[in-house]
Amino acid sequence: MTIRFADPRAQYLAHQASLDDAMRRVVESGRYLSGEEVRSLEEEFAAYLDVDHAVGVASGTDALELALRACDIGAGDEVVTVSQTAVATVAAIARAGATPVLVDVDPEYYTIDPVQLRSALGPKTKAIVPVHLYGQPADMDAVCTVAREMGVKVIEDCAQAHGAKWDERRVGTLGDVGCFSFYPTKNLGALGDAGMVVSDDHAIAERVRTLREYGWNPQRESVLVGGVSRMDELQAAILRVKLPRLDDDNARRIALAAQYEEELAELPLRRPGVRAGARHVFHLYVVQEEQRDAMIKHLAEHDVHAGIHYRQAVHQQSAYRQGIRLASDMSVTERLVDRVVSLPMYPELTDEQMRIIVGAVSSFYNR
């Protein structure tokens, strides 16, 4: 039995009949872009988050870029975020024309360090992009306090945190804009690429709607220089099937994380912390191990496939060694990239698979 660290096919099989019906509905409709499925998903996702506007786009990376552009952020501006993130976060800032300013993460929760955040802001700063990494909400009280004091936007990167909460509010609703990815392995995943921008700000949402399709107004005149970033009907229909199940799926992830916590408690690896006042939804279950590569090899020998998120921080990658501004101390991030291991985590993991995973991890320390 091979156990993957993520398995979107298992979720398809768990809901195959409903998903097949949804896909058939789209194919038979003859409308594959910008139709009723996308509009309905936008309404349903906005209601789920309790936010005024949701705008479907082609990917999570596009969501971030279009959100930045909708906030009039571009060349000559700086945007502060973390280097311990998927490269998409920083790529979106660069694609918008702004300069990424990368800071360290805190050592316990792996989200943006509030102390470094404050020191990184300057006269060119126009936005902060907190990343709710691995499903853990960033310290949004600290982020929003700094943003208010400096008069800058907060654009939340929620790509790994669908349904997570900070102080009983869902992430994506705490700043000015929230950006989501529906990549197949996400807590709410499509069967291809898709993304969403959410906001209570009508003007920002309208600008995203305009930018996502050639900068068109309703008369199809380009009033802004836009591109094309449409969510297709097929992905919207799939996500509409999965959205009502998201909270149950997240509850299962939380239960699996609690099982990992209990079963691995006596082992000399570092398990993830959960920030007080937050609902961590465990997109990934990430531990730290100094002999990381040896552990991954050992697990693979037991047919358990772990991941690494991430092997390099963004500032260590050749495309981003220039053109960014970097905090003077990135020690936490640089330590994490040498140690992090993502153990298998998805709602369809069975009790038997969990037994095998825990046994394989334990046997690494009992060789």
| Domain contains 3 | no
**What's the domain range around 348?**
245-365
- Is 158 part of a structural domain of the chain? yes
Same domain? 29 vs 174: yes
> What is the structure's pLDDT at 92?
98
Q: Are residues 148 and 187 in the same domain?
A: yes
CATH number of the domain where residue 356 is located: 3.90.1150.10
Domain boundary among 185, 214, 244: 244
Is residue 86 domain-shared with residue 180, that is, in the same domain?
yes
- CATH number for the domain including 85? 3.40.640.10
Residue 300 inside a domain? The answer is: yes
Verify that 187 and 40 share a domain, yes or no.
yes
Verify that 239 and 358 share a domain, yes or no: no
- Assess if residue 187 is contained within a domain: yes
pTM given for the model: 0.97
Q: What is the 3-state secondary structure (H, E, C) of the chain?
A: CCECCCCHHHHHHHCHHHHHHHHHHHHHHCCCECCHHHHHHHHHHHHHHCCCEEEEECCHHHHHHHHHHHCCCCCCCEEEEECCCCHHHHHHHHHCCCEEEEECECCCCCCECHHHHHHHCCCCEEEECCECHHHCCCCHHHHHHHHHHHCCEEEEECCCCCCCEECCEECCCCCCEEEEECCCCCCCCCCCCCEEEEECCHHHHHHHHHHCECCECCCCCECCCCCECCCEHHHHHHHHHHHHHHHHHHHHHHHHHHHHHHHCCCCCCECCCCCCCEECCCCCEEEECCCHHHHHHHHHHCCECCECCCCCCHHHCHHHCCCCEECCCCHHHHHHCCCEEEECCCCCCCHHHHHHHHHHHHHHHCC
Is residue 2 situated within a structural domain? no
- Same-domain status, 199 and 92: yes
- Specify whether 163 is located in the same domain as 21: yes
Asked whether residue 232 falls in the same domain as residue 183, the answer is: yes
Same domain, 170 and 214: yes
Count: domains in the chain: 2
Structural domain ending residue among the three candidates 214, 244, 274: 244
Do 184 and 326 lie in a common domain?
no
At 356 the pLDDT is 97
How would you write the pLDDT of the chain (367 residues) with one tens digit per residue? Answer: 799 999 999 999 999 999 999 999 999 999 999 899 999 999 999 999 999 999 999 999 999 999 999 999 999 999 999 999 999 999 999 999 999 999 999 999 999 999 999 999 999 999 999 999 999 999 999 999 999 999 999 999 999 999 999 999 999 999 999 999 999 999 999 999 999 999 999 999 999 999 999 988 888 889 889 999 999 999 999 999 999 999 999 999 999 999 999 999 999 999 999 999 999 999 999 999 999 999 999 999 999 999 999 999 999 999 998 899 999 999 999 999 999 999 999 999 999 999 999 999 999 998 6
Task: Tell me, yes or no, whether 270 and 142 share the same domain.
Answer: no
The answer to whether position 1 is within a domain reads no
Gap between the Cα atoms of 197 and 178, Å rounded:
6
Same domain, 135 and 274: no
Q: How confident is the model at residue 103, as a pLDDT?
A: 98
Please identify, among 212, 244, 276, the residue that sits at the C-terminal boundary of a domain. Answer: 244
